Structure 1
Amino acid sequence: MSTQPGKSPTTLSTSEFLLKTFEIAPRLPSMIFNLIKGLKSIGGKTNNSWGLELERIAAQYPQNTAVKSPDGALTYRELNERANRFAHYLISKGVSRGDIVTLCFENRPELLAAYCGCSKVGAIASLINTNQRGDSLVHSFNLNRGKVVLIGEECCEFFNEARAGIDLSRSTLGMLRDTGQFQPQDITDITSEVERQNGANPSTTKSVALKDTMAYVYTSGTTGGLPKAAVIINKRALSAMFWFGKFVMPVKPTDTIYIPLPFFHTNAITVGWPPALYNGAAVALRRKFSASKFLDDVRQFQATHFIYVGEVCRYLMATPAKPDDHQTTLKYICGNGLRPDIWMPFKKRFGIEKIYEFYGAAEGVGVFTNFLNIDYSVGTSVTPFAIVAYDTENDRPVKGEKGFLKKVGKGETGLLIMEISEKTPFPGYSDKKKTEEKIFRNVFRKGDLWFNTGDMLRNMGFRHAQFADRLGDTFRWKGENVATQEVEKAIDTFPGVKQSAVYGISLPGSDGKAGMAAVIRDENAPLDLSGLVAHLKTSLPKYAVPLFIRFVPDFEWTATHKIKKTTLKNEAYDPERVREELYVLLPGNETYVPVSEEIHRNITAGTYKF
């Protein structure tokens, strides 16, 4: 590999590519055999689904542990029976193929059973992001109204806070008990009713098709605004079973895949869980990720695989190191966003044999996977893709003389686009307008269609790539997509604000981008910074509240009337470059405070744990 001075490798050499290819040679026959077998399972057959695969595995490995968690364990027989009871409950409420069932739970076995129950009926599981609050939460419930809405007891408090704005006029609302401490009001406890249902496989499962939608996952994508519902179809879930479970990673029936990530995100339901189910292996989960409990969980659950996002790995690296951190059953990790600066230190500290970094959007076309185990790379894609030149200042792709887009060379960075075709369809969002916004037309020839990922990748050569940055009006912080339009809307409605522009900036020692807002004051009203913080914490998820605010007299605008954010991003929170008032929300504070030279030094040194 070649590198830029002081940076991680940016290109892949011929010798390393050949060496890595040689290393997987012993697995190659098995990989190809299982790939062909998997492709056949989603090719000729039209009626196959997640629910049908669960029934197959439950029959083959009835006593294998399917789910491990601090809330208890389930064998595959028990998971299948519990899913059947949910399915029969849904059928009793008139739910049929294509209907929507809203699920709002923390990571516990009941969520997995309810999800499987939906699949057996052919219903679409609408997976609510339990971190959302305010308008985002209401929007997610209302965007795809559930015929049945199931709320975990642990989520009732924030659900009730938003309930007035949620349309439940045509929904059956039910609560599933958790600890039993919450006393429900105006919501029926259906726990006993579900438990009384038939535990046998329902007849509906065999009629569910590969093309059927099985889940909605709420994402702000790369265009900002309120969450969109990314469509997950059965074919994608089943593809992930053999792709991640046989081709990419070795997974055996005795293995355990540890997934401390929320199951309303695609890393859990389309990357981590499918290979476990496909092989009769177990998934281990916990309600919320805990860096201090990570190794305890790995050892208790005998985890062999770990599904990550980059931020989680950085949290783990921030915990005090111990001499035996590497002495576990953990061998393989799979996820996205592991940054180059901690890639090798993480691998060494925790004794990881292989890192299967991947790249893919919840709603996207195709996926990049690092199945050759090349360090610092998201791997390659077996489906058509291109990395094209992009003008970041004017926020648009670069076109050549004939009006088509231009591909970048080896070592160069550009916008990743992926071809849309019959073999690589783009399911899109439940909102057709949002779907159309993600499509590029006439890219390299008249009539072709390409999916705009909204992400910048570096061409490493040999069809391999390295993640570089995210474009558009969305950035990631704390493992979540932050939609700038949503944050701007919350800020702009507060007294004393005329207009705002929100963007992400880098912080030392942190993955993703922290939120910063440039604000034009309303001269006719005072602006209370403490009140603004309280307002934002009420209106937005915790991760979306901007850490920095600067006040500006006006904005620079593009020819298409968009606010120019490049200069704002470059100046960031540096008091030497920002001449106007500059404030920061320090950890534990309830108001923004001025960024002094001392505070700026502490931020740069990574003193504050944002």
Structure 2
Amino acid sequence: MMQTLFTILSGSAVILLLLYRKFPYFVQDVMHARLNIWISGQRAKFLQTMPYFTVLDRFLELAKKQPAKPFIIFEDELFTYGDGDLQSNKVARALRQHAGLREGDTVALFLGNQPLFVWLLLGLAKLGCAPALMNYGIRASPLLQCLSCTSAKVLIADAGVRGAVEEVLPSLRQKGIRVFILGEACSSEGLEALSDKIQQASDQPLSPQLRAQVKATTPTAYFYTSGTTGITVVLKRKFSASQFWADCRRHNVTVILYIGEILRYLCNTPAGADDRRHRVRVVVGNGLRADVWRLFLQRFGKIRITEFYGSSDGNTALMNYPGRVGAVGKVNFYHRRVAPYVLVQFDPEREELVRDAYGLCVQVPTGETGLFLSKITARNPFGGYLNNPEQTERKKVRDVVEKGDLFLNSGDLMKIDEDGFVFFQDRVGDTFRWKGENVATTEVASILTMMDSVLDSNVYGVQLPGHEGRAGMATLTLKEGKTLDCSETFAHISHSLPQFAWPQFIRIQNDPELTGTFKQVKFRLVKEGFDPSTIRDPLFIVDPGRKTYSPLTQDCYDSIWSGKVKL
């Protein structure tokens, strides 16, 4: 009997060992799937009893339950959940009275990190209005373009961007957009002060009837912003690598959010004896390179890094829950069932999907790079882009696996290994990432062609060693008889574009190669990069210190490529 039991146990152990070797992440996959199933079940049960429970409702529930609990810590000031409720009441009443806001209106917010940003979000939610969040770095025509896309009725800006607002004020007035500046007084025609109106407003609760038509599916913001979990948030006006860990120690921070660039900046600071003296246990974010990942853990201690992949306009998300270095996520049996996806062949030269004789996309085998497409279903819908049906349609891909199906084009090239880990490879199409921001090549190109000397421009991203994403590069075709004025070019770009969108390199090519449909060839330019030893065209590099573009020498190129110079 004992021998039989021993044989069974030994056999079971061997089987489990073999299963573990073949499926080393099976247990983690099951636990992750179980958690997702439980969350989905709880959400469905919750929505049956309270179908219109929104982010605002959750905040109000917390404010009532824990009014004295710290909500936001900002520059030595502490704001409780109760403070947030009262302040957002004042904001809502001031905007309803002085801006005439009503349920369904859209308001553009153009301000940096500060508690008032949160009060505005909550106040607008109490009125049933959706905020459109403007990138704080945009100026001039890109700012106008963003505002036009949102159909905003009102623009609220802080004093730090007043000059940028005044520059486009005539166009804003022409569009009928009212502009409020966060200040006590404002003498400029067309600008109205808002801070004094908020201070004078009542902090009494507003009637829920003001947002009676808001449902769980109503946009919280035209740029996704998540709700509250009941925890305390430490907010900084601006990121500082030198002060980061001191702030974490000072406020006993346990979780930090990042984009890849932030952790690289932290790793680039001088090493110190206090590097591991902190309480941070988890960091969550995306865009972290494998080498920075390892260096961060080696230097700052045992911290759980949770990398994820997703986008505000996407219909699926991935999470690297096991913590494999370098992976943006992991797929498992549950994910494949509830959020179907495929990796398909993509031709970078033609910039189009590869299809077979039946007109279907060609899927890539495990371990090879392909374009990530996620299936559009009732469970995973694609909401599209506000007031832009053409762009919405361009993101859709039909006849992928079978005739009549519909997928969403992520624009990202991925690779999935045999264990299901997903690795980001590159970005395709009309955008690339630099300094943690998305850069639209068409937007930068349109700004460049506004210069009198430029006939045409071709903007793309080039890879740099030791840098996240791709650095912007522009190949310019000049008008006959014109030359590039480097100082004027810098002035134009710095005035019209946020710094992350500035072309780091410029190439002058007066006889550009064109496709059969008279489009500039981008693939070859990306491949050639900015190496002056192989490129005979004039090359320039941005020089912010001198406020110009300087000729790119071989020594400068070598310093960049060796890592001695960081952009």
Q: TM-score, normalised by structure 1?
A: 0.83
Residue aligning to 1:432: 389
1:374 is aligned to 2:324: yes
Query: Aligned partners of 2:240, 2:121: CA distance in 1, in Å?
Result: 24
Gaps of 5+ in 2: 1-17
Give the equivalent residue in structure 2 for 1:281.
231
Q: Tell me the SS of whatever aligns to 1:468.
A: strand
**Matching residue of 1:257:** none
How far off its partner does 1:405 sit? Answer: 0.8
Give distance in 1, aligned partners of 2:174 and 2:369: 47
Aligned residue identity for 1:356 = T
2:81 matches 1:76? yes
C-alpha displacement at 1:286, in angstroms? 1.2
Question: Which AA in structure 2 matches 1:433?
Answer: E
Distance apart, 1:526 and its partner CA: 3.3
Q: For residues 559-598 of structure 1, what are the structure 2 equivalents within 5 Å? A: 559-598=516-555
1:484 corresponds to which of 438, 441, 447 = 441
Q: Equivalents in 2 of 1:45, 1:391: separation in Å?
A: 48
Alignment of 1:329-478 (within 5 A): 329-380=279-330, 382=335, 383-430=339-386, 431-478=388-435
- Paired residue for 1:99? 105
Residue 166 in 1 paired to residue 172 in 2? yes
Q: Which has the larger radius of gyration?
A: 2
Residue in 2 that maps onto 1:85: 90
Q: Which stretch of the first structure deviates more once superposed, 13-22 or 333-342?
A: 13-22
Structure 1 residues 125 and 316: CA distance shift in structure 2, 3 A: same
- Are the aligned partners of 1:507 and 1:513 in contact in 2 as well (CA < 8 Å)? yes
CA–CA distance in structure 2, aligned partners of residues 101 and 593 of structure 1: 41
Matched, 1:59 2:15: no
- Structure 1: 5+ residue runs without aligned partners? 1-12, 218-231, 233-268
* Residue of structure 2 equivalent to 1:185: 188
Aligned to 1:508: 465
TM-superposed CA distance for 1:147, in Å, is 2.7
The corresponding residue for 2:216 is: 210
Q: How far is 1:121 from its partner?
A: 1.9
Given residue 98 of structure 1, which amino acid in structure 2 is its aligned partner?
G
The one of 247, 263, 269 equivalent to 1:313 is 263
Q: In 2 relative to 1, CA 416–476 (structure 1 residues): closer, same or farther, beyond 3 Å?
A: same
When residues 31 and 103 of structure 1 are mapped into structure 2, their CA distance, relative to the original with a 3 A threshold, is: same
Task: Measure the CA separation in 1 of the matches of 2:530 and 2:378.
Answer: 47
Among 143, 150, 154, the residue aligned to 2:160 = 154
Give a deviation string over 1:113-169, Cα, whole Å, max 9, x none. Answer: 101111222211011111001111122223223333322223323222222222465
In the alignment, the residues of structure 1 paired with residue 408 and residue 490 of structure 2 have an alpha-carbon distance, to the nearest angstrom, of 37
Q: CA deviation at 1:497?
A: 2.0
Counterpart residue identity of residue 53, structure 1: R
Shift of 1:29: 6.7
Say if 2:117 is the partner of 1:117.
Answer: no
Contact residue 155 and residue 178 of structure 2 kept, 8 A = yes
Q: Which has the higher mean CA deviation after the structures are superposed, 531-540 or 410-419?
A: 531-540
Question: Are 2:507 and 1:557 aligned?
Answer: no
**Which residue pairs with 2:45 in the alignment?**
40
- For 1:159 and 1:184, the matched residues in 2 are separated by 14
CA distance in 2, matches of 1:453, 1:14: 34
Q: Which amino acid aligns with 1:445?
A: E
* SS in structure 2 at match of 1:422: coil
558-567 vs 35-44, greater mean Cα deviation: 35-44
2:137 is the alignment partner of 1:135: no
Query: Amino acid of the residue matched to residue 115 of structure 1?
Result: L
Match of residue 495, structure 1, among 438, 446, 452 = 452
Q: Describe the SS at the equivalent of 2:343.
A: strand
By relative contact order (CA 8 Å, sep 6+), the higher-ranking structure is 1
Task: Report if the CA contact (8 A) 2:432-2:461 is conserved.
Answer: yes
Match of 2:246 among 296, 301, 306: 296
More displaced, 592-601 or 447-456? 592-601
**Post-superposition offset of 1:350:** 2.1
C-alpha change, 1:24 and 1:421, in structure 2 (3 Å) is closer
Count of residues in Structure 1 that have an aligned counterpart in Structure 2: 539
Are residues 554 and 45 of structure 1, via their aligned partners in 2, closer, same or farther at CA, if it must alter by over 3 Å? Answer: farther
Distance in 2 between residues matched to 1:44 and 1:562, nearest whole Å: 56
Moved more, 17-26 or 298-307: 17-26
Provide the C-alpha distance between the structure 2 equivalents of 1:328 and 1:212, rounded to a whole number of angstroms. Answer: 40
| Change in 2 beyond 3 A, CA 1:567/1:143 | same
Give the match for residue 599 of structure 1. Answer: 556
Q: 1:586 to 1:147 in 2, by over 3 A?
A: closer
User: Partner residue of 1:328?
Assistant: 278
CA distance in 2, matches of 1:304, 1:525: 57
The CA distance in 2 between the partners of 1:167 and 1:432, in whole Å, is: 26
- CA distance in 2: counterparts of 1:320 and 1:83, whole angstroms: 41
Distance 1:604 1:171 in 2: 47
Deviates more, 1:562-571 or 1:33-42: 33-42
1:501 and 1:518 in contact (8 A); partners too: yes
Deviations 1:267-312 (A, max 9, x none): xx34xxx3xx22x101222122111111122122221111111111
Query: Deviations 1:549-588 (Å, cap 9, x if unpaired)?
Result: 1222322223343321122112111112101212212351
Q: CA RMSD in A?
A: 2.4
CA offsets 1:454-512 (integer angstroms, 9 cap, x no match): 11111123443111110012111112111111221222222322222111111222111
Inter-partner Cα distance in structure 1 for 2:252 and 2:69 = 14
Conserved 8 A contact 2:260-2:288: yes
User: How far is 1:596 from its partner?
Assistant: 1.9
Q: Write the distance in 1 (CA, Å) between the matches of 2:273 and 2:555.
A: 35
Deviation at 1:32, TM superposition (A): 5.0
Change (3 A) 1:75 1:304: same
| C-alpha contact (below 8 Å) 1:495/1:526 kept by paired residues | no
**Cα distance between partner residues in 1 of 2:293 and 2:245:** 18
- Indicate the SS of the match to 2:247: helix
1:525-540 matches, within 5 Å, as: 525-540=482-497
